[in-house]
Structure 1
Amino acid sequence: MKSTTSSSAGRKKNDGPKVAPCGDDQILIDFQDQPSPNEATRVLWARLMQHPPAYCLEPVAGVATLAVVLNLDARNDAVRQQACAELTTLARDAVGVSAGEGAHHVIPVCYAAEMAPDLDRVAQLTGLTTAEVIQLHQAGRYLAELIGFMPGFAYMSGVDPRLCVPRLPQPRPVVPVGALAITGNQSAIYPTATPGGWNLIGRCPIRLFNPALDPPCLIQLGDQVQFEAISTAQFDRLWAKR
């Protein structure tokens, strides 16, 4: 009995990504049980963007899942069944494949106290000095694993484990545009003013989202990011050029 259970568990583990309808208008591919799930997600997303099937209106990438939004004429049982079968093959083919390197960005950030209202909180929670928090954050190499929440908001993994802190007990009604934030193992920059509950430890003066540009978002899925400390005077000069 024990060996049968073990064998069954092994088969389930190797069944590949899960693919299933999600409501009437989407199909969800789940890579969470696969090796390098975010990389597999980005590989499949890129392939669907380059060669979208007839039923695909838009692929939407998450950290370890991908939703395929169906065209209006594809929202029926027959097409969903066909799409699930095809996407199962495509998803399996994406596992273990390198997504390649995205663009590399060096983003200026001012960590001055007046632009980092939660820097002291992060220092207290981690037992570090504020200077050490800034140094560790700058030393990180970050990967844009997901673009979401709002246009241009890149969820970037790569935060040093020593800087992993929870969200604020109460979110702010307004987070200023350009605010640099961390929570858990992620860092992000707010491209527009919005409510938010992440820890603000700096501010970026450059524009990350501009609908007049193509693409409108500076940081794309799979891009790599480093942060470079600047002074308040440098911040003001760059802000004036926005």
Structure 2
Amino acid sequence: MRLLACGPHLTYLELPKSFSTKKLSTGFYIPPSQRSLPSKRNSLKSVTETSIIQLIELHVPPLPDLPLPYDTTKDLPPHFMPTLKKAFDSAEPNLSLLLKTHKPDLLIYDFLQPWAPVVAAEYGIQAVDFITSSATITAFMHHLYKVLLITFPFPSIYLCDYDKVEVSHLLNPSKNLDKDKTRCFECLDRSSEIVLIKTFKEVEGKYIDYLSGLVGKKIVPVPLVQDCVDDNDESGISGWLNKKER
């Protein structure tokens, strides 16, 4: 796994923790550069101390148009985002070397790196897309991408006028999209048989089923709940959930 943004890191760290409770072995976690790790030290410490995860840095080659220290989205001016993605793409050979060296059984990747499953396939490694946003928005956006002229089957989800500006590239009948606009869709399409999404079947079941039909893969909900309190402390998220009906 490797992410450009710091926000989803806690979710990606929760995933191997959930594997450990099922007695499944995990591979390695590729964080952003060491420069941006200090802000996440506390969240990393609780996981790495249990020896569940081995942290391995994936070096992103510097580009002249991307001034240091901008190698993640942390404090990144928005106009540098396309350049950061270009730099990230150039890290493909480095990922290939990591996979060759560590030989994991499974690679879990995020929505910005469609080349990751291609590299993994070269070594016979299964690769699975893990989406940290909702199944609802993922299904809706993939619907716009694949079946533009057919109404989304759930009328409660629709585009407002200002939303249409943001997704105008998907509303173009010619679908002449540049590579940067199709990354997330390619990641879904290249996932090995299944796609992981941070969600609950009970909450987004119909959107999960619809997305599964769109991409032709099994969508596996991963109901991760991050709670920074002790398991026995009823004041946290788990305590709140325990008071609710199943």
Fold match, TM over 0.5? no
Greater relative CO, 1 or 2 (CA 8 Å, sep 6+)? 1
**TM-score normalised by the chain length of structure 2:** 0.29
Larger radius of gyration: 1
Normalized per residue, the structure richer in strand is 1
Q: Normalized per residue, which structure has more helix? A: 2
